[in-house]
Amino acid sequence: MTRRTPRPRERGIPEATVARLPVYLRALQSLTERGTPTVSSGELASIAGVNSAKLRKDLSHLGSYGTRGVGYDVEYLIYQISRELGLTQDWSVAIVGAGNLGRALANYGGFGTRGFRIAALFDADPAVVGDEVAGLSVRHIDTLEDVVSVEKVSIGVIATPAAAAQGVCDRFVSAGVTSVLNFAPVVLSVPDGVDVRKVDLSIELQILAFHEQRKADGHEGPGWIGALEA
Amino acid sequence: MTRRTPRPRERGIPEATVARLPVYLRALQSLTERGTPTVSSGELASIAGVNSAKLRKDLSHLGSYGTRGVGYDVEYLIYQISRELGLTQDWSVAIVGAGNLGRALANYGGFGTRGFRIAALFDADPAVVGDEVAGLSVRHIDTLEDVVSVEKVSIGVIATPAAAAQGVCDRFVSAGVTSVLNFAPVVLSVPDGVDVRKVDLSIELQILAFHEQRKADGHEGPGWIGALEA
DNA sequence: TAGATTGTTAATCGATTAACAATC
DNA sequence: TAGATTGTTAATCGATTAACAATC
C-alpha cells in the first residue's frame, strides 16, 4: 500500500524561485525610492529582467498578495518577500581574509536595506591584524571560534587564498556555522546540513568566453539555440 | 508530410553543462599537479562535487574522449574542455572601478591556468588614476573606448558603484564589447547579442539567509532540499 | 458594466539520474 | 576471459511559459 496523505499545503519554495526573490526585492526597493505605491507583474518583471508569467508564478508560492485588476502594493510585497527570505531578523556575518576582496566585502554597506551585520573580519597575517576596515578592527584568525560563539555568527564568508579555504571552512563548521559563502576557487567539502554557495570569478569568465567564442565562430549549427527554426 | 532530416550531429551544449565545464577543468588541473595521468568519472565527479552520471553525460556533449574500462586521460581531457570553452585563445579583459573590488579582481592572477589577460583597469576618480595595480597603471574612464579598441577587449568587468554601472555598460557595448561581467547590484539592460553575467554578494547572502531560517524553523515541510548543487 | 490584471492550469521544455549494453 | 568503466537510453523530476478563468 502506498501512502496517500492529502498533501499538507505544499510548503517548500522551489530553489529557482528562492534565487529570484532577492532580485524582485531589489526591484521593489527601487520603486519605493521613486515613490511608486503599486506595480503590476508586467512592470515589475520588466525591471527585474524576467518573464511576467514566471514572476507571478514565483510570487504565488509565497501566497496571494496581489489584487486582480490592480497589481501589487509595493511596500506590502517588500515586507512579504523580506519575511520569506528571513530578512526581518538580523544575521551576523564573519569574513575571513582581509585582503582587497575581504575589504571590498566588508565595505559593501547596503545589503539591500539591511538584514545582515558584519560582525568580524579575520586574517592570519599579523601585519594586517589590527587594521581598521569598515569600522571593524581586523582580528587574528585564532580568535575565530570565540568570536563566532560570542557574536552568534551564522554566515561565514571565505575570502582567503585557495590553499587556506578548506581549513577555514572546517573551523567555521566546527564552531557551529551552517551557511558558508565561498570566494576561493576550490570545492569545499562540508557535512550534511551545511549550505555552501560559491562565487568564482574565473568560472564566470570561462562561461563568457564560451559564448564569446560561439559568436566569433560564425554560428554554425544551432549556434544561438532558438534563433533558428522559431 | 513532415520533414524528417536525419539531424545534423546536434551541436549546442546545454547551458547547465557549460557552467560545469570550468569546475571539471579545475578538478583536472589539480590532478595534473598531483601527477595523476588517468581518472575515472567516479573519481573526477567526486572531486568536482557532482554525480558521476551527470559528469559522463556532460562530457558526452563534447565527444567521446574516455576509454571504457580505463577512464579519461587527464591531459587530453583538459585540452578538450579548454578548447570547447575557448581557452586555447587569449581573451582581453578590462575592469572598470579601481576600488577594493576592482583591485582584488585585477590581482586575481591565476585564471585557471590562463586564457585571460587583464588589459586595463579604469576609474573615474582622478586621485586614483595613475595608481599601479597588478602591474597596470589605472587609466581614466574617458579613455575606455580607445583602449577597448586598441587592446581588442572582448570581456568587460564592471566593479563600480551601482549608480555608475549602466553607464559603463553602455560605453562597453557601444565600443563593441559583447560580454559583460557585472558586480554592481543592478540589472543591466543590453541589446540582443550581448551576454551579461552577474555576481551579487547581497543576493548570495539572502539565499543563504532563507535556508538558514528554514533550519532554525525546525524543518517543517521539505526543509533543506538537497542542501545544494551536489 | 468594461477593462485590467492576478493566480492557476496545463503544456512544454530542459536537466538529472539510474541502469545497462558496449567495449576497453 | 573477467573486471572495469564509458557512453547512452529512458524514466523522472523540476522549471518555464502561454493562456485564461477568476475577480478586482
Q: What mean pLDDT comes out for the span B215-226?
A: 49
Q: How far apart are the C-alpha atoms of B26 and B78, rounded to whole Å? A: 9
Q: Is the CB of A61 under 7 A from strand D?
A: no
Nearest 5°: the CA angle A83, A85, A89 is: 60
Judge whether A65 lies within some domain. Answer: yes
**Do B102 and B198 reside in the same domain of the chain?**
yes
Q: Reduced to 3 DSSP states, what percent helix, strand and coil does chain A have, rounded to the nearest 5?
A: 40, 20, 40
Q: How far apart are the C-alpha atoms of B183 and A104, rounded to whole Å? A: 11
The binding site of B for NAD(+) consists of 97-102
- The per-residue pLDDT for B218 is 58
Domain boundary among A24, A52, A85: A85
**Do B150 and B99 reside in the same domain of the chain?**
yes
CATH of the domain at B69: 1.10.10.10
Judge whether A20 lies within some domain. Answer: yes
- List CB contacts (< 8 A) between B179 and chain A: 208-209, 211-212
Rounded to a whole number, what is the distance in Å from the CA of B86 to chain A's nearest CA? 5
pLDDT (tens digit per residue) in A135-148: 999 999 999 999 99
Locate cell 568564482: which residue? A200
Q: How far apart are the C-alpha atoms of B43 and B45, rounded to whole Å? A: 5
**Do A78 and A96 reside in the same domain of the chain?**
no
Spell out the residues 6+ positions from residue B13 whose beta carbon is closer than 8 angstroms to its own: B61, B62, B84
- Residue B191 binned pLDDT confidence (cut-offs 50, 70, 90): very high
Per the structure, the count of domains in chain A is 2
- The per-residue pLDDT for B83 is 96
A207 pLDDT higher than 90 = yes
> Residue B153 in contact with residue B103, Cβ under 8 Å?
no
Nearest to A205 among B19, B104, B111 (CB): B111
**Do B30 and B80 reside in the same domain of the chain?**
yes
**Do B60 and B158 reside in the same domain of the chain?**
no
Write out the residue range of the structural domain in which residue B126 sits: 91-202
- How would you label A64-97 residue by residue, b for 16+ Cβ within 10 Å and e otherwise? eebeeeebbbbeebbebbbebbbbeeebbbbbbb
**Do A66 and A120 reside in the same domain of the chain?**
no
**Do B120 and B189 reside in the same domain of the chain?**
yes
Residues near strand C (C-beta below 7 A) are: A 39-42, 52-53, 56-57, 59-60, 64-72, 225-226; B 14-17, 50-51, 53-54, 56-57, 67-70, 226
- The per-residue pLDDT for B4 is 31
Q: What values do phi and psi take at B182, rounded to 5?
A: -110, 120
CA of B69 to C1' of C20 (A): 14
> Residue B199 in contact with residue A204, Cβ under 8 Å?
yes
**Do B97 and B158 reside in the same domain of the chain?**
yes
- Residue A111 binned pLDDT confidence (cut-offs 50, 70, 90): low
CA of B53 to C1' of C18 (A): 8
Rounded to a whole number, what is the distance in Å from the CA of B154 to chain A's nearest CA? 8
**Do A29 and A116 reside in the same domain of the chain?**
no
**Do A168 and A127 reside in the same domain of the chain?**
yes
pLDDT (tens digit per residue) in B77-136: 999 999 999 999 999 999 999 999 999 999 986 655 578 999 999 999 999 999 999 999
pLDDT (tens digit per residue) in B153-188: 999 999 999 999 999 999 999 999 999 999 999 999
CATH of the domain at B192: 3.40.50.720
**Do A27 and A112 reside in the same domain of the chain?**
no
Q: Is the CB of B226 under 7 A from strand D?
A: no
Judge whether A149 lies within some domain. Answer: yes
State which residue has its Cα closest to the C1' atom of D4: B69
Q: How far apart are the C-alpha atoms of B224 and A12, rounded to whole Å? A: 9
List protein-proximal bases of chain C (any atom < 7 A from a CB). Answer: 3-10, 14-19, 22-24
